[in-house]
Amino acid sequence: MHAGQGSPDTCGTQQHAGGGAATGGAIGRFRERPISIAGAHPRGDGDCGWRAGGQSTPGGSRCRRRTYSRPVCGGIGRAGGAAAQGTRPPSCMGVRLWPYSGPAGGRRGASWRRAGVALYMRFKARRGLKLEAKPTDAPAVLIVGGGMAGLCAAVSALEAGAAVTVIEKSKRLGGSMRLSNGLVWTFKEASALRSEVRGNESLQDMVFESHLQDLGWLESQGVECGPVRPFQWYGQGRTVAPDQVISAMVRRVELLGGRIRTDVAMHRLRPVRNWGYEVDVYLSETDTSTLEADAVILATGGFQGNPELVARWITSETDNIYLRANPWSTGDGLTAAMELGAALTRGMGEFYGHAMAAPPARFGPRQFSDMTQRYGNYALALNLSGRRFVDESAGTGEEALNAEIARQEKATAIYIIDNDIAAMSREFVLAPPHVSVTRAEAAGASVLRKDSIEALADSLKAWGLPAQEVLNTIQAFNTALAAGTADQLVPPRRRNLHPIATAPFTAVKVRAGITFTCGGLATDVDMRVLRRTGTVSTLPMLLADTADVDYCAFPNLYAAGCDVGGLSNRGYMGGLACALVTGRKAGAQAAASARVR
């Protein structure tokens, strides 16, 4: 099988190898109202200047209507040009404004730039005018999303010789990484990964094998990474400071000639000429524009912020579940690719998150970690009917428990612990249970402490729970643990066999939180988005002859981070590590494939 060029889709599993190319400073065919700035002179001879009217200009294109054009001078990406001399032009609305350089090599310098900006602002509100930056010889890669995956993809694509622009829906970069504790971890043993996390094993192996190497690459970009350290009994990773990651990667993107634009939202994705894409974007509530690129990388962070999609695939309790993430990841990449006929993965109903202190607790995004009650996999968890509903100890932490809480009434549960569980410390990396409970209580959370199980059960009537049902559930749990039959409970309890036996006893009301979705776009290991109509079923029990198994990918369309589905269909293998590895891979592959038209 081969990767088709000039065809609507790319079938097969051929790997692309990228060659070097000069790095350009502008994205290909960037269009925006209301004024036109033409791109690099095809000869790089530097004949630049503002021209108006219908005549052709040296090195420019024929202007139509009241369009103004200025070829970017100096031969971007060519020896002898301003880019090659190490200078960086100023920018206006994301388009580089290069100093004037006439045939004799004269320069108008800052006065020309001021005039250019003034002219741009003068015509900004005029009808019928457009802003255009013509392409350089380097392949143009557009990255939708400026979180961990998007920034890694940008630097990777720039290093591979592409001209890169990143658009970010929010006014701030970083996505949900900004709200994380910064531990970039995954499993240290492949056997533990296989036993604890279900998902696409090829993608999992890619993350597992590249994790530490890509952390070294991240460090080479100027990111300050801590030493390798263990995480729980199964993982290892390095800690970064999210804000420092953002600043270092942005600095690197700019140094390599890329551009980042915030407050720009993707609306629609359309293939053009069978090799590139047009991307409709919103610049404001009323102003729209169209971008064109040779390749597009979708890194929009999942669909956890979209109530319609969450209700369709995850839970009907969308009015009650916490959005434990940035507010901008609403499935833009997923829905845009679905309109093209992209294949989806299994596990669309799976997500990663943690339960946090339920209302009336009051806290903001920066307190997500403090309000997370990570001891749930050691606790006894009850729904509002006073019954257990899941094996609390399943999974690598309490993420599996949290996912089941999301499907309970009001996405709410009661964690019950005794003094022995509250005092645990070795088992918890970030905070022992008693610290998490104290923080929640200080934020106004519903917390009860009693000296007997009976008194605790009776007090829970104030929260709407049936006291006798609560008491029966706790007693049955303790009896089964004492008899060694906890695995016969319904539901069973297979690990963390700690009875609720030592006073004082504590009850904490928690609510499910969703950090990112696990289902998403189906990709191959090159992060190419697969086409539904050209790809075989993704059911795990597929029985078919090898000759019948085939996959078709869209040409030059990639996904990274949480837009990639299937890395973890159940369990968790580290969100930042997945973003790092898939982002770097997508950037390199997009730059390589976009170069071959």
The b-or-e profile of 547-577 (16+ CB within 10 A means b, else e) is eeeebbbbbbbbbbbbbbbbbbbbbbbbbbb
Which alpha helices (DSSP H) does 443-567 contain, by range?
453-459, 467-483
CA distance 94 to 100: 18
pLDDT beyond 50 at 221: yes
CA distance 284 to 261: 13
Predicted pLDDT at 61: 32
pLDDT beyond 60 at 450: yes
Of the candidates 511, 240, 504, 496, which has an alpha carbon nearest to the alpha carbon of residue 372?
Answer: 511
Q: Cα–Cα–Cα angle for 397, 403, 407, nearest 5°?
A: 150
47 burial type by CB count under 10 A (0-12 exposed, 13-18 middle, 19+ buried): middle
Predicted pLDDT at 426: 73
Write out pLDDT tens, residues 538-579: 777 778 777 777 789 999 999 999 999 999 988 899 999 999
Write out pLDDT tens, residues 157-170: 999 999 999 999 99
Q: Which residue has the higher pLDDT, 11 or 322?
A: 322
pLDDT beyond 50 at 338: yes
Of the candidates 268, 343, 296, which has an alpha carbon nearest to the alpha carbon of residue 556?
Answer: 296
Contact 524, 530 (CB under 8 A): yes
Write out pLDDT tens, residues 283-325: 877 788 999 999 999 999 999 999 999 999 999 999 999 999 9
Predicted pLDDT at 525: 96
Give me the phi and psi of 6, to 5 degrees please: 70, 25
Within 10 Å of residue 483's Cβ, how many Cβ atoms? Answer: 9
Within 10 Å of residue 125's Cβ, how many Cβ atoms? Answer: 9
Please compute the mean of the pLDDT values over residues 106-114 and round it to a whole number: 38
pLDDT beyond 70 at 83: no
- Partners of 271 in beta bridges: 277
Q: Which residue has the higher pLDDT, 135 or 152?
A: 152
Q: Mean pLDDT for the chain?
A: 81
- Give the global pTM: 0.78
Lowest mean pLDDT segment, chosen from 135-139, 578-582, 592-596: 135-139
Share of residues in the chain with pLDDT > 90 (%): 68
Q: Which residue has the higher pLDDT, 3 or 261?
A: 261
Tokens found for residue 54: 């219908």
Write out pLDDT tens, residues 379-438: 999 999 999 999 999 988 899 999 999 999 999 999 999 999 999 987 776 789 999 999
Residue 409 to residues 309, 406, 448, 586: CA-CA distances in angstroms?
Answer: 19, 8, 20, 40
pLDDT beyond 80 at 522: yes
Predicted pLDDT at 67: 31
pLDDT beyond 70 at 119: no
pLDDT beyond 50 at 75: no
Q: Which residue has the higher pLDDT, 141 or 126?
A: 141
Predicted pLDDT at 80: 35
Predicted pLDDT at 176: 95
Predicted pLDDT at 11: 53
- Which pLDDT band holds residue 120 (cuts at 50, 70, 90)? very low
Angle between helices 148-159 and 242-255 (to 10 degrees): 30
Predicted pLDDT at 395: 87
Predicted pLDDT at 21: 35
Q: Which residue has the higher pLDDT, 545 or 133?
A: 545
- Which pLDDT band holds residue 596 (cuts at 50, 70, 90)? low
Domains of the chain: 28-136 (no CATH), 140-348+520-540+555-594 (3.50.50.60), 357-511 (3.90.700.10)
